[in-house]
Chains A and B, each alone.
Chain A
Amino acid sequence: MDRLVLLVSTGVARGLVIALFALSLVIIWRAARIVNFAQAAMAVVAVYVAFAVEAATGSYVLAVLAALVTGALLGAWVERGLMRRVSGRTPLPGMIVAIGLVMVLQSVLGILFGPKHRPMTPVFAETPLSVGGVPVLSRYDLFVLVVALVVVAGLGLLFNRSTLGLQLRASATAPEVSRLLGVRVPRMVTIGWMLSCAVAALAVLLLVPTELGLNAHSADVLFVHAFTVAVLGGLDSPVGALLGGVVVGVIVSLVTGYASAGLAPLAVLALLTVVLLVRPGGIFAPKEARTA
């Protein structure tokens, strides 16, 4: 029972990181109708910068800021420099460019920093806290939980309560009409990318201390999990991403804890397959318009 509680609560904390990353995929999908396969690699680049900043200044807050800023700049650069230059009528060219970008970024990181994992000490201890004698969460997991919830709430406020959010949503759903009404749609797409990449960078920064360490490939699995989550919830649904993240996090944690770590990717694949076959557009997807 104690083990179950520990596994579930750790799963929720991990799941919120996955949810954050999935949310970043959802933001780009809603803004530009592209699944950014390069999201993980871009976020890892931002975390390398954060790593350097932390090593230089010793301040975790500055490192977080550096990750956010680098992520946003990378996002803007990729959108302006690459994605805008390919046709957006089908998703194919955008996906292919993103895949090429992954290969470039990961191999350049590999050349610069080598294959070894750089450990990152968490800002808070990783020993579990006990509630009434039952080990529940470590301080770091608690910190992750709080940060993730704050970011999700902040994004919710931004999208639903601010003018910028309204413009972002409008240009995503009806670009032509929004342009006629005076919204600068291309700028909104760029802002969407910046937001999304900053959130992804934060998610990877939160993840790295709980894993082996920082490496060019350390966010690959996170990306697959987050993609699964985004698909579970439907790429259009932020709420779906949040719930899906927690579900996948708990499932991975339970499978790893009770069966073996090797089975976790298979469990995620099975979940993804079942959901895609039962609800191809995701569980929270709106009903598709009639086509014929």
Chain B
Amino acid sequence: MNRPVTGTRARSVRAIVVRAALLTLLALAATFALDPFRNYQLAVIAATFCATAGLTLLVGLTGQLSLGHAVLMAAGGYGYVLVAGPAGDAGLPGPARFALGLAGALAASGAVGVLLGLAGARLRGPYLAGLTLALVIALPAAATQIPGLGKDQGLSVPFEAVPGPLTGVMVVEQWHAWIAIVVAAVAVTPLVVLRSGRAGLRMRAVHGDEVAARLAGVSPARVKVGAFVASSLSAGLGGAVLAVVTQNVSPGRYSLAFSLLLVVAVVVGGLGSVGGAAAGAALVVLLPWVVETVASGLPADVAQRLSGNLAVAVFGALLVAVTVAWPGGLAAATAGPRARLAGRLPRARPRPADPSSGPSSDPSHDLRPEPRPITER
């Protein structure tokens, strides 16, 4: 992600929004080139991207490792269903029901996020990871024990049909992909704005040195809770979209394995990089499918054993290899080529030629993406 290093805050926010809008339009246009199944996959990727973008912000910028982001997605999914279901029964039309459902998703995931954030502000490293791990493991039990959550089978989600004017143009999978892409844009753009601004600086400061941050007047607890809430709201929207696309919310979908896949996505993509989170989301959705496709050509008993396991093994190996060998992930690995590419493109407005030769006191200096090892963030 190349963000403008000059100009006022308003200009940089505008640039982010414009870029997000362009990318969204591009993705929407791309859905016309895909068949229904690819569009379904694209929708799932967009939903996963909501969660990974939040997670990459949380882990990369504040150093809080959450193994429970699947639970936040689940909270979003259940929040959506619990509001959209009754709203649909009451006869509300599609858009209003959908908007209410999203509000429900935000409320549910926000509530869980505040609680986890409060815990996270008090806990360091392994304690938070362990608490979120326990949360994921307890989710199926919670879904079974809490009345109204539909036990193991989960709840079915009101169907979002293609709206009237578009029925001749697209099938339902493409419409769902559109929903997913737009919601992902709405969920992720604020995160990018947040990251590029003062809040992002504060998060880095708290991660870098909590004592120094406190001496500089930054409240670590507030920053950590804020980061957790922002991250969970985005994950909740992702959960709501996933619920709409798959038309079902059940605890089995949000297992520990899925939570770990989200971690894989952000680590492989590069911690702290939103573009990396998108690439990671695509990877964790598509790779299992590729592996299944390849394995289906094998004899039945072998295929059955490989089913599910092979992809997880590949992901685990990727996670270890990336952390040991390329700590910056995809974002760092592609930073050089991308910078060279950006250098060749014509500039729309003047920028300092080389940030290192610019004044070092420039606060926006720190806003540049720095593909450093995660340990140094």
Contacts and interface: CB of A to CB of B under 8 A. Distances in A.
B374 A93 contact: yes
B316 A265 contact: no
A125 interface: no
Interface-central residue, B127, B137, B142, B319, by most chain A CB under 10 Å = B127
A268 B134 contact: yes
B127 A110 contact: no
Interface in A262-290: 262-266, 268-269, 272-273, 276-277, 280
Contacts of B214: 291-292
Contacts, number: 157
B211 A291 contact: yes
B285 interface: no
Nearest to A263: B145
Interface residues of A, number: 51
Interface in A52-100: 82, 85-87, 89-93, 95-97, 99-100
Interface residues of B, number: 53
A111 B130 CA distance: 27
A106 B135 CA distance: 20
A213 interface: no
A114 B165 CA distance: 51
Contact of A110 (B59, B145, B305): B305
Given A35-B126, A102-B316, A85 B135 contact: no
A114 to B, nearest CB: 6
B129 A95 contact: yes
Contacts of B210: 291
A101 B63 CA distance: 20
Interface in B261-320: 263-264, 267, 305-306, 308-313, 315-320
A97 B142 contact: no
B324 A85 contact: yes
B156 interface: no
B150 interface: no
10 contacts: A91-B124, A95-B125, A101-B316, A102-B316, A104-B320, A110-B312, A111-B306, A276-B127, A291-B210, A292-B214
Interface of A: 29, 34-35, 37, 82, 85-87, 89-93, 95-97, 99-108, 110-112, 114, 220-221, 224, 227-228, 231, 235, 262-266, 268-269, 272-273, 276-277, 280, 291-292
Interface of B: 59, 63, 65, 67, 118-119, 122-127, 129-131, 133-135, 137-138, 141-142, 144-145, 210-211, 214-215, 256, 260, 263-264, 267, 305-306, 308-313, 315-320, 323-324, 327, 373-375
